[in-house]
Structure 1
Amino acid sequence: MNPLNHVAIIMDGNGRWGLKYKSSRNEGHKAGLNTVEKIIKESIKQKINFLTLYAFSTENWNRPKKEIDYLFNLLEYFLSQKIDDLHKKDIKLNIIGIKNFSKKLNKLLNFSEQKTSKNTTLQINLALNYGSKFEILDSVKKMKRNNDKINEKNLSKYLQTKNIPDPEILIRTGNTKRLSNFLLWQLAYSEIFFEKKLWPDFNEKDYIRIIKKFKKIKRNFGNI
Structure 2
Amino acid sequence: MIASGSGEGPAPRHVAIIMDGNGRWAKRRHLPRVAGHKAGVDAVRKVTRAARAMGIEALTLYAFSSENWRRPEEEVSDLMGLLRLFIRSDLDELVRENVRLRVIGDYRRFSADIVRLVDDAIARTAANTGAILVIALNYGAHAELVAAAQRLATRAAAGDLDPAAIDAAAIEAELDTADLPPLDLVIRTSGEHRLSNFLLWQAAYAELLFVDTLWPDFDAAALADAVAAFGQRQRRYGGL
Same fold (TM over 0.5): yes
What secondary structure does 1:146 align onto? helix
Corresponding residue to 1:32 among 16, 40, 44: 40
Give 1:3 shift. 4.2
Task: Note the 1:107-122 alignment, pairs <5 A.
Answer: 107-122=116-131
Task: Note the 1:4-19 alignment, pairs <5 A.
Answer: 4-19=12-27
Paired letter, 2:20? D
CA contact (8 A) 1:2 1:216 kept: no
Give 1:211 shift. 0.5
Structure 2, unpaired ranges of 5+: 1-8
Is the counterpart of residue 59 in structure 1 residue 67 in structure 2? Answer: yes
Deviations 1:38-89 (A, max 9, x none): 1111111110110000000000000000000010011101111110111101
Corresponding residue to 2:200 among 179, 184, 190: 184
Indicate the larger mover: 53-62 or 209-218: 209-218
Q: 1:80, 1:35 → 2: CA distance?
A: 17
Corresponding residue to 1:174 among 190, 194, 209: 190
Q: 1:111, 1:38 → 2: CA distance?
A: 23
Q: 1:180, 1:23 → 2: CA distance?
A: 26
Is the counterpart of residue 205 in structure 1 residue 199 in structure 2? Answer: no
What secondary structure does 1:128 align onto? strand
RMSD after superposition = 1.0
Q: 2:212, 2:125 → 1: CA distance?
A: 34
Deviations 1:18-53 (A, max 9, x none): 122142111000001111111111111110110000
Q: Quote the residue 2:77 is aligned against.
A: 69
Q: Quote the residue 1:81 is aligned against.
A: 89
Q: 1:120, 1:46 → 2: CA distance?
A: 16
Q: 1:38, 1:13 → 2: CA distance?
A: 16
Aligned length, in residue pairs: 224
Taking structure 1 as the reference length, the TM-score comes to 0.97
Paired letter, 1:43? A
Deviations 1:90-117 (A, max 9, x none): 1111110002111100000000000001
Paired letter, 2:140? G
Percent identity of the aligned residues? 37
Structure 1, unpaired ranges of 5+: none
Paired letter, 1:135? E
What secondary structure does 2:150 align onto? helix
Corresponding residue to 2:56 among 32, 48, 53: 48
Q: Which has the larger radius of gyration?
A: 2
Task: Note the 1:133-144 alignment, pairs <5 A.
Answer: 133-144=142-153
Is the counterpart of residue 101 in structure 1 residue 117 in structure 2? Answer: no
* Deviating 4+ runs (over 6 angstroms): none
